[in-house]
């Protein structure tokens, strides 16, 4: 007989998923744990969300745990669209690194999606995928063809470009996820900002070499 407010209780439960993910990781997510964290009886999870998967889905829909296309573009879509391909790729890499590094909960979810596939992770993945598609539509189908003053698309086909962007994203994802538990990865410093700057520089060099063709 505490609050008697369904909306507030729902919000508390959803928020508890996030704070529990941040504190204990995805291993700490469970009906009992979430209810305990929210200071609420666990039976309300079943009543209001139909179970833990429903609660997770609600959490996935609420939060901004995935960077938007705008954020990956650096905050200014116009300036982004008008820059050269190599500049765009480099900027995207840097922004993606920053976006991931400051979203520990997102990293936790990414690892979760890698470690088990169930109703819970599938709900979260749907949100992520739609964001990714949105960004690639903007980035690949959009300014690539409009900026015909850059002739480097002769060397990199649209297919190759897509693969390269995905490879960059994959590498960044892996390194950021690893940086949560190890400081050094094959000689790369994943713990300090200067270490990440070195990674960004190496990526910029790669990109420049490729686009210069």
Partner DNA sequence: GATTTTTGTCACCAGTCGGTGATATTGTGT
Partner DNA sequence: ACACAATATCACCGACTGGTGACAAAAATC
Total binding residues toward DNA, as defined by CB under 7 A? 21
The contact pattern for DNA, residues 46-65, with x = CB under 7 A and - = no contact, is xx---xx-------------
Cα–Cα distance for residue pair 107/127, rounded to 1 Å: 14
Which helix (H) or strand (E) covers residue 184, if one does? strand 184-185
Distances (CA, A) of 4 to 8, 40, 44, 58: 9, 11, 12, 21
**Contacts with DNA in 7-36 (CB under 7 A)?**
8-9, 30-33
Cα–Cα distance for residue pair 118/191, rounded to 1 Å: 32
Q: Can you say how many angstroms the Cα of residue 87 is from the centroid of all Cα atoms in its chain?
A: 21
Binding segment toward DNA, per CB under 7 A, in 2-10, 15-23, 106-114, 156-164: 2-10
Which helix (H) or strand (E) covers residue 188, if one does? strand 188-189
The contact pattern for a copy of itself, residues 41-80, with x = CB under 8 A and - = no contact, is ----------------------------------------
Site residues (vs a copy of itself, CB under 8 A): 25-27, 111-117, 125, 132, 136, 155-156, 159-160, 162-175, 177-178, 180-182, 185-188, 198-199, 201-203, 205-206, 209-210, 213
């Amino acid at each position: 007989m505490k609050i008697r407010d369904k909306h507030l209780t729902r919000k508390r439960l959803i928020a508890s998923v996030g704070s529990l993910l941040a504190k204990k990781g995805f291993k700490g997510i469970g009906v009992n744990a979430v209810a305990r964290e929210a200071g609420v009886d666990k039976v309300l999870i079943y009543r209001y969300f139909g179970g833990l998967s429903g609660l997770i889905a609600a959490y996935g829909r609420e939060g901004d745990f995935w960077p938007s296309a705008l954020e990956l573009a650096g905050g200014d879509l116009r300036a982004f669209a008008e820059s050269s391909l190599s500049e765009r790729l480099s900027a995207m890499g840097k922004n993606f690194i920053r976006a991931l590094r400051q979203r520990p909960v997102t990293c936790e979810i990414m690892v979760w999606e890698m470690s088990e596939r169930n109703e819970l992770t599938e709900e979260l993945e749907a949100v992520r995928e739609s964001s990714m598609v949105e960004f690639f539509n903007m980035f690949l189908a959009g300014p690539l063809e409009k900026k015909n003053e850059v002739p480097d698309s002769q060397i990199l086909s649209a297919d190759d470009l897509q693969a390269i962007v995905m490879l960059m994203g994959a590498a960044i994802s892996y390194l950021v996820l690893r940086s949560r538990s190890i400081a050094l990865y094959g000689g790369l410093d994943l713990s300090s900002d200067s270490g990440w700057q070195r990674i960004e520089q190496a990526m910029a060099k790669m990109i420049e070499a490729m686009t210069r063709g």
